[in-house]
Chains A and B, each alone.
Chain A
Amino acid sequence: MSTHIQGKQLNVSAIKNGTVIDHVPSKNLFEVISILKLQNIDSQITFGSNLESKKLGSKAIIKISDKFFVQDEINKIAILAPQARLSIIKDYAVVEKQKISVPEYIHGITKCFNPSCITNHQNIKPKYTVLADNPISLQCFYCEKITEQEHFDFI
């Protein structure tokens, strides 16, 4: 147990200042990167995928130098990776763990599961009320139909 924690500390400490997103399901890594628009960030980003995880089987980790997320961005992570953990790194040390929680409302992110929904036929960004968070269940603001987490289709 202690070696596991030590190993994790070592990984996390690999950047000087910034944010580490750990416990991302490997299959959602690139969606997390895309949703956070990390491709537009100039600072150093490293990530690893298909790492061994007791909890998830296979996990991914993202380390972003000199980047600190605001709550709205953190909430987006929650949609893709509710079990993810965020650590704020200052001077190679974890100074804060940020809590991830699923937001009440979501704009965009995933397509409405209802093929007849107007958002799937016109250039309209879907909006949802979050009905449940584990697993996530979204109610479309327009067609009122429910989209379950297992049917998420990221935009």
Chain B
Amino acid sequence: MKGKSLVSILDYQVEEYLQIIQLASEFEALKHQNILHGKVVGSLFFEPSTRTRLSFESAVNHSGGRIIGFSDSNTSSSTKGESLKDTILTVANYCDLIVMRHPHDGAAKFASEISPVPIINAGDGANQHPTQTLLDMYSIYKTQGKLDNLTISLIGDLKYGRTVHSLLMAMMNFSPKFNLVSPKELCLPVEYKKILNAHSVPFNEDTDLHTILPETDILYMTRVQKERFSDPIEYEKNKNLYVLKSSMLENTKDNMKILHPLPRVNEISQCVDSSPKAYYFQQAKNGMFTRQAIISSILGLI
């Protein structure tokens, strides 16, 4: 991992997933507290994402590093017409590693080609957001004590949800069973189903959330957004079908945990929050430990 950019979840293999998870747990146990001392991380948010930015900033701050950068393109030189290439080459002079978020697909890949320092992709348009996937995996590991042989149910927008696609691609290495529950119009794209089939990963597509709940270990909820539907009537028909309520948790497994990449709108009703099965806020906290692990590994400090 040392010196290598992290652009896509497929840049890492099983061994690296496990290494990041192990390191994240060490950071959580407050080891390596000043490991980033003397390091400067560039944080380039060409589009705003407060949640992700704060997670990275807290990861750097909690490890004794410093962070420079901008939080949206209105305050950055790109609004003055500076090319992405020029911004990256300039900022790379001032830091040891660049974390970047960009509205366009493939921006981080391009940056990683030209940058003299490693790039961490904090989201490139609708394409990749690998640190989210790694924190999801850490959350799965932490709550289940393993990654293998789990029944993982993914709910909501499976067509456009990049976190869903990346999680499928990463977790398919650990003998899972996937339940894919979505409105017909937002079902998993066929290219991902082909990959699952090619690896003989069992999956079951469903439009009903209730049937899959009793066997689920990890319930991964996502937003169903109105603008994703070509027909507003379809949205109206579907909008309440993929909402989790506390009454639905009755027949679920004791070890089941509910994950969500956040921000949530209404797909998990507030009454679920007090359930011990609700895990999405701890999941966000795990993001900080995971990002500490990723940054330290890429900088070759661990």
Contact = CB atoms under 8 A, between A and B. Distances in A.
Interface of A: 114, 116-119, 121-124, 140-146
A140 B103 CA distance: 17
Contact of A117 (B8, B104, B191): B104
B109 A141 contact: yes
B104 A116 contact: yes
A144 B110 contact: no
B85 interface: yes
B109 A116 contact: no
Given A116-B125, A118-B110, A122-B110, A144 B105 contact: yes
A117 B83 contact: no
Nearest to B128: A144
A121 B105 CA distance: 10
Contact of A122 (B84, B109, B128): B84
Nearest to A120: B104
Contacts of A117: 104-106
Contacts of B102: 118
A124 B107 CA distance: 10
B110 A124 contact: yes
A118 B88 CA distance: 14
B68 interface: no
A149 to B, nearest CB: 17
A140 B110 CA distance: 12
B83 A140 contact: no
B126 interface: yes
B83 A142 contact: no
A143 B125 contact: yes
Interface string B104-118: 111101100000000
Interface of B: 8, 83-85, 102-107, 109-110, 124-128, 191
Contacts of B103: 116
A77 B8 CA distance: 32
At the interface, is chain B mostly helix, strand, loop or mixed? mixed
A123 B83 contact: yes
Contacts of B8: 144
Contact of A118 (B84, B126, B128, B191): B84
B105 to A, nearest CB: 3
Given A117-B104, A117-B105, A122-B85, A142 B126 contact: no
Contacts of A144: 8, 105-106, 127-128
Contacts of A116: 103-105, 125-126
A29 B9 CA distance: 42
18 contacts: A114-B105, A116-B105, A117-B104, A118-B102, A118-B105, A118-B107, A118-B124, A121-B104, A122-B84, A122-B104, A123-B83, A142-B107, A142-B109, A142-B110, A143-B106, A143-B109, A143-B127, A144-B105
A17 B104 CA distance: 49
A58 B110 CA distance: 41
Nearest to B114: A124
Contacts of B106: 117-119, 140-144
Contacts of A118: 84, 102, 104-107, 109-110, 124
A68 to B, nearest CB: 34
A6 B107 CA distance: 54
Report, nearest first, the 6 A-B pairs whose CB atoms are least far apart: A142-B106, A143-B105, A143-B106, A118-B106, A118-B104, A118-B107
A145 B160 CA distance: 13
Nearest to B111: A118
Contacts of A146: 191
B105 A122 contact: no
Contacts of A119: 106, 110
B125 A122 contact: no
Contacts of A142: 105-107, 109-110
Nearest to B109: A142
Nearest to B106: A142
A83 B83 CA distance: 40
Contacts of A122: 83-85, 104, 110
